[in-house]
Chains A and B, each alone.
Chain A
Amino acid sequence: MVAPAVTPTAPLKRRRKAKADEGVITVGRSRSGTILANTAGVVFSVLMLFPVYWVLNTAFKPADEVLALEPGFWPSNPTFDNFISAFNAPLFLKDMRNGVIITLIAVAGALVVGFLGALAIARFSFYGRKAIILVVLVVQLVPFLALLIPLFLMLQNVDLGFKKFDLTDSLPGVSITYLVLILPYTIWTLRGFISGIPRELDEAAMIDGCTRAQVFWRIILPLTGPGLVATSVYGFIQAWNEFIIINTLNSPENQNLMAWLLQNQTTRGTAWGPLMAGAIITSIPVVVFFLIIQRNIATGLTAGAVKG
């Protein structure tokens, strides 16, 4: 942390100026301190961004420059070769398609199931409500990694009574696993959005003759729209980024892009250029979505911590 080198009492004139600068804490402001702080802020940001810059720099270099003893800090002969060889790599497109399918099924399922569950705990007071809240919170903390062993055994032998299925090494098996993986968070976040809608709106509509179903379709669903978008995007990110479960349950033909990135390293002598290009392609949807909804993510994780 940068210690502000200052006199404790800021001169009045300076304080007035600081007031215009909204949201800045005014303890101990001085010119040299501000310059120091700004410099520290810029240095910090550059350091944080260095790995991001480095992956871009590598991905656009031709193969011989990637493995140069003197790494160039700028791709002087920029090329898309690495991206092309990533796309042409075995299973890249297949795994990308798999990832999209799995993620869409998981997110859509979690959204429908989770919304109903969230509705129950946000809008009704009933016997067992607290128990459900507790369950939703507890399962969020169960390390999924620890459940891999029994999950594997379970999916291997799914008995539906009339027929037995082996859901390992298949897309449906992973899809429902991911659905459950993102379900607790979905319920918890949607609960927050639904309880943000004033209850008086429901009551007014019901006085005007709406049934419960109509209240749901005409009031709650439209007003939760933005929340549904934010929650589904976060679910998308979680499902898209997962690789341990899919890498354990499925063979490479039925994996997603993240697992593809992992597989790529086991072949001796990593092809760094295509790997970094693949990493960029894999990250783009996540980064874009993340930047759109970042506000809501922080809310979901810490909502109400201040009230607590």
Chain B
Amino acid sequence: MSVVDSPATRRPNDPDRPPQNRIPGHVAPRRRKRNSSVVPWLLAVPALLFIAGLLGYPLFRMIILSFQNMRLRELISGRTPPWVGFDQYTRVLSDGVFWAVVGRTVAFTVVSVLLSVILGLGIALLMRRVARGVRMFMVVAMMFVWALPQLVAAQIFRWMTDSDFGVVNYLIDKLPGVDYQNHSWFVNPWQGWSVITTLVVWAGIPFLAITLNAGLTQVPKELLEAATVDGATPWQALRNIILPILKPLLTIVTTLSVIWNFGLFTQAWVLRDGHPEPQFQTLATYSYTQAFGQARYSLGSAIAVITVLLMLGVMIFYIRQMFRIGEVD
């Protein structure tokens, strides 16, 4: 199976497409229709039950919880928490801290996605230009980075930026006229966030570059050669030929990156030792610390609901793209 399915590999067995070369009055298709309403549902029921029980029901409970006020007392006693209507939401939405967290999360998402997509595309283009051996080296290097568990990657970065024994301080300190001994990267939020962003972009490049590189193999070579003959600069070839062909793929990977980076948790959590300071809170860590750190379960739920609502636009866009594929296949 190739990394990217080309239109040429479109399979001939779409269930929604009328079967061709079928003798009129042939019984097979009609019989299939008749059986098929019970059997497929029987097959799907276990999966649907699991999803309903452990995803659907908690989702429902989360929404209910956000209209209640559940604290530690209710958690221990098991009593139904008091209903408070929209109180949790008014409390969250009128809190300046919350809006600072939203702004920070959005800003981080925009910067990190732009950086990773642009760098990923650049690396993908570079992979087309280099010798075969170098390309192999690039793929192997990226595969190792891609394979590393998020938590492990974050721990490595925490070690490299350690203020006393971190290699990053050591290397920067070597530069003439710079004193970075015992420098702490997380005192200044800008520096701290650049460490987090570097980690996220570094970890995100392999997926983007390798996927986009596969997409680039779909660009017909003849088209590029013709453009060159007609006097197109490399920049024009990129803008007018490569990017339009790559657009559907680029849209999907960008959407995925937005969804992933908006939910940033692990990296900020690990780099800040499990206790992110206010300036390093994202929506995910904020909701988590409110719920489990402060035992404000309802407030945490309200923040989680708002987070999902904020992402709804991007998610619907992604689902529509994928749905079209699932329907046809």
A interface residues with partner B (beta carbon < 8 Å): 1-4, 6, 8-10, 15, 21, 23-29, 33-34, 37-38, 40-42, 44-46, 48-49, 51-52, 54-55, 58, 66-71, 112-114, 116-117, 119-130, 132-139, 141-143, 145-151, 153-154, 157, 176-177, 179-180, 183-184, 187-188, 191-192, 195-200, 203, 206, 212, 240-241, 243-244, 248, 258, 261-262, 265-266, 270, 272, 275-276, 279, 282-283, 286-287, 290-291, 294-296, 298-299, 301-308
17 new A-B contacts, CB < 8 A, other than A25-B221, A126-B40, A153-B75, are A23-B128, A44-B123, A45-B137, A49-B144, A124-B32, A126-B36, A141-B318, A145-B265, A145-B304, A146-B287, A147-B55, A149-B291, A153-B61, A275-B155, A295-B2, A298-B3, A306-B218
Given the known inter-chain contacts A125-B36, A299-B1, please indicate yes or no for A306 contacting B249, CB distance below 8 A: yes
Considering only CB atoms, which chain A residue lies closest to B47 in the complex?
A117
Q: Chain B residues with Cβ under 8 A from A306's Cβ?
A: 4-7, 215, 218, 248-249
Smallest CB–CB gap between B273 and chain A, Å? Answer: 6
Q: Chain A residues with Cβ under 8 A from B324's Cβ?
A: 308
Smallest CB–CB gap between B215 and chain A, Å? Answer: 7
In the complex, the answer to whether A24 meets B128 with C-beta atoms within 8 Å is yes
Q: Chain A residues with Cβ under 8 A from B175's Cβ?
A: none
Distance of A214 Cα from B180 Cα, bound (Å): 70
Q: Chain B residues with Cβ under 8 A from A23's Cβ?
A: 128, 217
B interface residues with partner A (beta carbon < 8 Å): 1-7, 10-13, 15-16, 28, 32-33, 35-37, 39-41, 43-44, 46-48, 50-51, 53-62, 65, 75, 78, 118, 121-123, 125-132, 134-135, 137-138, 140-153, 155-160, 162, 164-165, 167, 170, 202, 205-207, 210-211, 214-219, 221, 224-225, 227-229, 231-235, 237, 248-249, 251-253, 256, 259, 263, 265-266, 270, 273-274, 284, 287-288, 291-292, 297, 300-301, 304-305, 307-308, 311, 315, 318-319, 321-329
Smallest CB–CB gap between B296 and chain A, Å? Answer: 10
Q: Chain B residues with Cβ under 8 A from A272's Cβ?
A: 159, 162, 165
Distance of A51 Cα from B307 Cα, bound (Å): 32
In the complex, the answer to whether A133 meets B228 with C-beta atoms within 8 Å is no
Candidates B43, B143, B259, B307; contact of A294 at CB < 8 Å: B143
In the complex, the answer to whether B210 meets A3 with C-beta atoms within 8 Å is no
Candidates B56, B125, B152, B227; contact of A283 at CB < 8 Å: B152
In the complex, the answer to whether A41 meets B126 with C-beta atoms within 8 Å is yes
Q: Is the interface of B mostly helix, strand, loop or mixed?
A: helix
In the complex, the answer to whether B46 meets A117 with C-beta atoms within 8 Å is yes
The residue among A49, A126, A187, A206 with the most chain B CB atoms within 10 A of its own CB is A126
Q: Chain A residues with Cβ under 8 A from B219's Cβ?
A: 25
In the complex, the answer to whether B54 meets A177 with C-beta atoms within 8 Å is yes
Considering only CB atoms, which chain A residue lies closest to B13 in the complex?
A199
In the complex, the answer to whether B167 meets A71 with C-beta atoms within 8 Å is yes
Given the known inter-chain contacts A27-B224, A28-B234, please indicate yes or no for A265 contacting B274, CB distance below 8 A: yes
Q: Chain B residues with Cβ under 8 A from A148's Cβ?
A: 288, 291-292
Offer 16 A-B interface pairs, CB within 8 angstroms, sorted by A: A1-B122, A2-B129, A8-B228, A15-B225, A24-B129, A41-B127, A44-B138, A127-B37, A141-B315, A187-B47, A199-B13, A203-B28, A243-B151, A276-B159, A305-B252, A306-B248
Considering only CB atoms, which chain B residue lies closest to A21 in the complex?
B132
In the complex, the answer to whether A191 meets B329 with C-beta atoms within 8 Å is yes
Q: Chain B residues with Cβ under 8 A from A34's Cβ?
A: 129-131
In the complex, the answer to whether A54 meets B61 with C-beta atoms within 8 Å is no
Candidates A41, A54, A200; contact of B138 at CB < 8 Å: A41
Distance of A29 Cα from B130 Cα, bound (Å): 10
Distance of A154 Cα from B149 Cα, bound (Å): 28
In the complex, the answer to whether A141 meets B319 with C-beta atoms within 8 Å is yes
Distance of A38 Cα from B130 Cα, bound (Å): 5
Given the known inter-chain contacts A304-B325, A305-B249, please indicate yes or no for A298 contacting B214, CB distance below 8 A: yes
